[in-house]
Amino acid sequence: MTFREVFEKPQRSTARGAKESELARLAADPDSLAGRIGNTPLLRIRKCVPLRGDIELYAKAEWFNPGGSVKDRAALNMLLDAERSGALRRGKTIIDATSGNTGIAYAMLGALLGYRVKLALPANASPERKRTLAAYGAEILLTDPLTGTDGAQERVREIVGSDPHSYFYPDQYNNAANREAHERTTGPEILRQTGGRVTHFVAGLGTTGTFTGVARCLKAYSNSIRCIAVEPDSPLHGMEGLKHLASAAVPGIYEPALVDERVSVATEEAYGMTRRLASSEGLFVGVSSGAVLAACLRVAAAIPSGVIVTVFPDGGARYASERFWDNGTKGGTG
């Protein structure tokens, strides 16, 4: 597929069927909250990491979404898809398991549209995320932190199983609309913003929607684009939103055939890179951003030239109470 074909080929956007529902109309309106989801900046990373002159490194600044994270894209598309199919209608409560960001996106859109939202998340989620969910009016169910989001999913399934007619359960880990949001928005944005020059795409694995969706788009454009998946190096880690797939339930939307390379990152390395982004680049971001940056450096060290693009999923304000911010010096690596 040529670069021109990617952008001239009609795409089913999240605004398709704008007459179908209030959310569809809002998603098509650039003056609405929902209409501002997507089209985030692509920022060049220049100062905080040593790169040769023939290597370019860029990051999608997903905290520019109105709900503050990349998960706004998936939540919007899953709710739009559910309204189109009739799975979501007035009187139903939106319920799902989350580590925080997708839940915040559901809660924001639920408040906008008048849907009740109930969310199960591990009890060790940061206070900032819990308070944000409460501010939007979501009901929060805290689950065992040792079971992570897998335990939260089990809790949700129990609730929905006992009263299936009262709930709409998007099931973000197994919902194709999660992946499709990135295949139809994030991926094309990256191609447009790089002029089709991207050679390597690096993203963390959580629900796997971002990686899988963007990789599908980029591979359709050029199979020579390398797609690198990032995950924690152990089951017990401190990188919110990322999953150690070898020890966790593998999301149904994950497509391992799209992975050209895997990079495992240690928690302390991710912490150090996150601090470095703030102190040396002026980017106050979440820990998963530090993790993918560490992976980008390994990719850059192994290639003679290239244009590397990654995704910084959210901002650092949601993790401001975390103690790791105090553990390093300016520009340190941990």
User: Which residue is it, tokens 């109309």?
Assistant: 25
Q: Which are the contacts of 26, defined by CB distance < 8 A and separation ≥ 6?
A: 32, 33, 34, 35, 112
Tokens encoding 103: 């839940």
CB-neighbour burial class of residue 162 (10 A; exposed 0-12, middle 13-18, buried 19+): exposed
Q: Strand, helix or coil at 315?
A: strand
* Residue 305 annotated as catalytic: no
Name residue 249's beta-bridge partners: none
- CA–CA separation, 79 and 24 (whole Å): 9
8 Å CB contact between 46 and 283:
no
* Residue 219 annotated as catalytic: no
Report the relative pairing of strands 261-265 and 306-312 from DSSP bridges. Answer: unpaired
How many Cα atoms sit within 13 Å of 142 on the Cβ side?
Answer: 11
User: Which one from 21, 126, 288, 289 is the annotated catalytic residue?
Assistant: 288
User: Which one from 21, 60, 69, 71 is the annotated catalytic residue?
Assistant: 71
The letter for the amino acid at 266 is: A
Alpha-helical (H) ranges within 182-266 are 187-194, 209-221
Q: Which are the contacts of 241, defined by CB distance < 8 A and separation ≥ 6?
A: 99, 100, 101, 204, 206, 286, 288, 313, 314
Q: Strand, helix or coil at 291?
A: helix
Residues with a known catalytic role: 71, 288
